Chain A
Amino acid sequence: MSPAAAPAVDATEIRRRTRELLTAHPPATTDRTDFLKARFDAGLAWVHYPVGLGGLDAPRSLQQVVDAELAAADAPDNAPRRIGIGLGMAAPTILGFGTDEQKRRFLRPLWVGEEVWCQLFSEPGAGSDLAALATRAVRDGDDWVIDGQKVWTSSAHVARWAILIARTDPDLPKHRGISYFICDMTDPGVDVRPLRQITGEAEFNEVFLSGVRIPDSHRLGPVGDGWKVAQTTLMNERVSIGGSRIPREGGMIGPVSQTWRNRPDLRTHDTHQRLLTLWVEAEVARLTGERLRQQLVAGQPGPEGSGMKLAFARLNQQISGLEVELLGDEGLLYGDWTMVRPELVDFTGRDAGYRYLRSKGNSIEGGTSEVLLNIVAERVLGLPAEPRNDKDVAWKDLSR
């Protein structure tokens, strides 16, 4: 397992290793999970991760060499959208703060997709003000005992593990008394209930934690450092945009533009003007994302990323709203209100009414637009923070 003897890894070497993997485990005749495990063990899962943990300590940009070779060979992937929380949030946090044993135990089944992860952060009383969270973790021998309630938890009903933040010291100010844990979702004290939303389905859950026992060996980072650890998780949540090129009309503007072209009977002057305005804004948002991508490739990451989520949230809402209105009679109908618990969120695959309702969440999930505007104002523009009265007060003395 020692990486000491590893040769310098460049694009040529990575291509050679990828072809070696494909020869030893031909995708056509290899079980999907076996192939993914072999790929992980060859260091070709995420090449920028360390040797022995699915990577080769190589530059992140070389991942595209692996992906292109594997796509050409029709190799299976790990269905990244299905395990997005694990890949995008749990993995970088475990890599950054986990012990060697935790990294070895969790990263491989996470990446392969054998173990799905969810995130137990938000609470009914701690949304935008996440640091106010009230779920308690009390030390009991080698374990921590968890009591509290979490909410907006996607994938909780299929998850094997969760990343969890809980309060370990209510006598400290709110940011300082939090610790970060890995929670076993099969613990009998974990109760996952579907949370039906405005679309009719239950994409999220509420999760009740009653006397859940977590061994101290499943703590990530020092006791009381949970807020700092959580920043890594949340930063990775917002970085995900900008990785790949978006085609023109690639987002929600695509379906409504096609409807416009295919259905002359629906056209009115008013909807035409609004469609053109939104088409231009969607095209500019696409270009802004492309410029951000070029900056990242050139090694000049800009602060633009924090703005992209704001732009897309507003655009998705306005475009889908226009689309429902454009459809007229048909806009009065809705595809299906049946309460289901989908494993994946599909933003554009369903009817306009669904898109309209689901996109209302775009300005709430992953940081509300109001909070993101504060972040842009303070961190990008350097505007002064609002005066606060909650930073130096013990958590237990805060009003709620």
Chain B
Amino acid sequence: MTAPTQPPAATPEQPSATPDLLYTQDEEDLRSAVRALLADRADAPTVIAATESDTPYDPRLWEALATGIGAAGLLVPEKLGGQGASHREAAVVLEELGRSVAPAPYLTSSVVATETLLALARDGGPAAALLAELASGARTAVLAVPFATPPSGARAALTSLDGTVRGVADAAVADVLLVPTAEGLYAVEATAPGVVVEPLVPLDLTRPLATLTLSGATGTLLADADASTTAVRRGLLAGAGLLASEQLGIAEWCLTETVRYTRERHQFNRPVGSFQSLKHRMAQLWLEVVSARAAARNAADALATGSPDAPLAVAVAQAYCSGVAVHAAEECVQLHGGIGMTWEHPAHLYLKRAKADSIAYGSAGTHREAVAELAELPAP
């Protein structure tokens, strides 16, 4: 391409620093460890069988991931009981979890709840104590907001610890619920009196949803209303940003598996993957996956470095990667033909996860609205 000829006045705000979009050797080592664990404990038949049980979570998988590998504490500084890594490493864990669609409360507890508490844990106190428990993998917590809540929706919906929150992801497995109210942010024990967690029938069976009903429940107040809103926004921003890496993992699996299948599957006396109409669709997906990787790494790096560009990087990553994961999963089902429609083949798990992820923490359209504001492209 030739260099654009534009007047300097037309140059918009540029990123403050060049992001590191590659993977470090440490990140690759972490990936290998997580991938080996998931291959061992969460292959497709195991995950499918688990989704048909009362609870799809595998406690031994969680312990190995959260405590054994130390993934639960990646975002938490060492002095607060964590691994002192960053969003870049957590993003790699989520790529692998996306590739396997294993049910694990990593995004909800180790990213969103953890990041929310990080905003409040500076002066010690109950937030710091809970943070240390989450970082060690000993306990899990979820933010009691609907899974579809975007970062811009951080303002509390409940006035107090009374009321109902629908569609809370991973609530069924959480030890602690972080409940934003008009009074501030509460930590409520999931087993406390006045707390009912009622499972819903989710589209994505690998990430259970529940309705949370609070009536006269009590909890520990972690922050006042303003601090709560700021902390929750920070938690949701990290969640939305790193969800892009999970979506990348989903898309990667779908493409790899579709290429593998269409190379082997023969019709008309040749591999169906040799037909140009199919090849072009897979090549197009490859281009989308390559692009999604750049967008997801950019968001993870911006969060890790605390860049002022982070809200835009997250909005761009979500606006782009949601569609890529859904497209890859839909192509995976179609290019597998009839087998892709069966319960036995795992393609449906990826389609359901991708579609649910496209709503989680704000749809692509919601994130494009954020882009409109951040890039100064106002609505009519």
CB distance from B379 to the nearest CB of A (A): 5
Residue numbers in A under 8 Å from B15 (CB-CB): 248
28 A-B pairs with CB atoms under 8 Å apart are A255-B10, A268-B380, A272-B377, A272-B380, A273-B365, A276-B368, A277-B368, A279-B371, A284-B294, A284-B320, A287-B295, A287-B298, A288-B290, A291-B22, A304-B290, A307-B287, A346-B2, A348-B2, A349-B5, A373-B283, A374-B280, A381-B283, A382-B259, A382-B263, A383-B273, A385-B274, A387-B270, A387-B274
CB distance from A217 to the nearest CB of B (A): 35
Q: How many A-B residue pairs have CB under 8 A?
A: 160
CB distance from B271 to the nearest CB of A (A): 5
CB distance from A307 to the nearest CB of B (A): 4
Residue A225 at the B interface, CB < 8 A?
Answer: no
- A269→B380 contact, CB < 8 A: yes
Docked Cα-Cα span, A374 to B293, in Å, equals 22
CB distance from A382 to the nearest CB of B (A): 7
Residue A311 at the B interface, CB < 8 A?
Answer: yes
Q: Count chain B CB atoms within 10 A of each CB in A81, A251, A268 and give the residue with the most.
A: A251
Residue B120 at the A interface, CB < 8 A?
Answer: no
Residue B114 at the A interface, CB < 8 A?
Answer: no
Docked Cα-Cα span, A255 to B10, in Å, equals 8
Residue A386 at the B interface, CB < 8 A?
Answer: yes
- B22→A295 contact, CB < 8 A: yes
CB distance from A78 to the nearest CB of B (A): 15
* Residue of chain B at shortest CB distance from A345: B2
Q: B47-81 interface mask toward A, CB cutoff 8 Å, 1 = contact, 0 = none? A: 00000000000000000000000000000000000
Residue A41 at the B interface, CB < 8 A?
Answer: no
Residue numbers in A under 8 Å from B279 (CB-CB): 373-374, 377-378, 381, 383
Residue numbers in A under 8 Å from B319 (CB-CB): 276-277, 280
Residue numbers in A under 8 Å from B267 (CB-CB): none
Residue B262 at the A interface, CB < 8 A?
Answer: yes
Docked Cα-Cα span, A258 to B282, in Å, equals 35
Q: A342-360 interface mask toward B, CB cutoff 8 Å, 1 = contact, 0 = none? A: 0001111100000000000
Near B by CB (< 8 A), chain A positions 78-103 give 81
Given A251-B4, A376-B283, A376-B287, also A245-B263 (CB < 8 A): no
Docked Cα-Cα span, A310 to B286, in Å, equals 11
Q: B298-337 interface mask toward A, CB cutoff 8 Å, 1 = contact, 0 = none? A: 1000000000000000001001100000000000000000
Residue A223 at the B interface, CB < 8 A?
Answer: no
- B380→A373 contact, CB < 8 A: no
Given A291-B293, A348-B6, also A377-B298 (CB < 8 A): no
CB distance from B117 to the nearest CB of A (A): 30
Residue A241 at the B interface, CB < 8 A?
Answer: yes
Residue A250 at the B interface, CB < 8 A?
Answer: yes
- State which of B4, B10, B20, B263 has its C-beta within 8 Å of the C-beta of A383: B263
- B371→A280 contact, CB < 8 A: yes
Question: Interface majority SS on B: helix, strand, loop or mixed?
Answer: helix
- A381→B259 contact, CB < 8 A: yes
- A273→B368 contact, CB < 8 A: yes
Residue numbers in A under 8 Å from B372 (CB-CB): 272, 276
Other than A264-B378, A290-B19, give 14 A-B pairs with Cβ distance below 8 A: A245-B18, A251-B1, A255-B10, A258-B10, A267-B380, A268-B380, A275-B377, A277-B319, A283-B316, A311-B287, A373-B280, A373-B284, A382-B263, A384-B274
- B10→A254 contact, CB < 8 A: yes
- A370→B280 contact, CB < 8 A: yes
Near B by CB (< 8 A), chain A positions 38-87 give 81
Residue numbers in B under 8 Å from A304 (CB-CB): 290
Residue numbers in A under 8 Å from B14 (CB-CB): 247-248
- B4→A279 contact, CB < 8 A: no
CB distance from A342 to the nearest CB of B (A): 12
- B2→A81 contact, CB < 8 A: yes
* Residue of chain A at shortest CB distance from B4: A348
* Residue of chain A at shortest CB distance from B276: A386
Residue numbers in A under 8 Å from B379 (CB-CB): 267, 269, 272
- A377→B283 contact, CB < 8 A: yes
Near B by CB (< 8 A), chain A positions 288-312 give 288, 290-291, 294-295, 298, 300, 304, 307, 310-312
- Name A's B-contacting residues (CB within 8 A): 81, 241, 245, 247-252, 254-255, 257-258, 260-261, 264, 267-269, 272-273, 275-277, 279-281, 283-285, 287-288, 290-291, 294-295, 298, 300, 304, 307, 310-312, 345-349, 370, 373-374, 376-378, 380-387
Q: B18-43 interface mask toward A, CB cutoff 8 Å, 1 = contact, 0 = none? A: 11111000000000000000000000
CB distance from B335 to the nearest CB of A (A): 11
Residue B291 at the A interface, CB < 8 A?
Answer: yes
Residue numbers in A under 8 Å from B377 (CB-CB): 257, 260-261, 272, 275-276, 279
- A381→B293 contact, CB < 8 A: no
- A377→B320 contact, CB < 8 A: no
CB distance from A363 to the nearest CB of B (A): 13
Near A by CB (< 8 A), chain B positions 236-291 give 259, 262-263, 270-271, 273-276, 279-280, 282-284, 286-287, 290-291
* Residue of chain B at shortest CB distance from A304: B290
Residue numbers in B under 8 Å from A380 (CB-CB): 283, 286
Residue B376 at the A interface, CB < 8 A?
Answer: yes
Residue numbers in B under 8 Å from A251 (CB-CB): 1, 4
* Residue of chain A at shortest CB distance from B21: A291
Nearest 10 pairs of A and B residues by beta carbon:
A377-B279, A267-B380, A384-B274, A376-B283, A291-B21, A287-B294, A288-B294, A373-B283, A276-B368, A291-B294
Q: Count chain A CB atoms within 10 A of each CB in B22, B378, B380 and give the residue with the most.
A: B380
Residue numbers in B under 8 Å from A294 (CB-CB): 20-22
- B21→A287 contact, CB < 8 A: yes
Residue B125 at the A interface, CB < 8 A?
Answer: no
Docked Cα-Cα span, A304 to B21, in Å, equals 14
Residue B339 at the A interface, CB < 8 A?
Answer: no
- B1→A312 contact, CB < 8 A: yes
Docked Cα-Cα span, A63 to B6, in Å, equals 26
Docked Cα-Cα span, A170 to B375, in Å, equals 59
Docked Cα-Cα span, A275 to B283, in Å, equals 25
Residue B297 at the A interface, CB < 8 A?
Answer: yes
Docked Cα-Cα span, A300 to B13, in Å, equals 30
Docked Cα-Cα span, A287 to B298, in Å, equals 8
- A261→B259 contact, CB < 8 A: no
CB distance from B365 to the nearest CB of A (A): 8
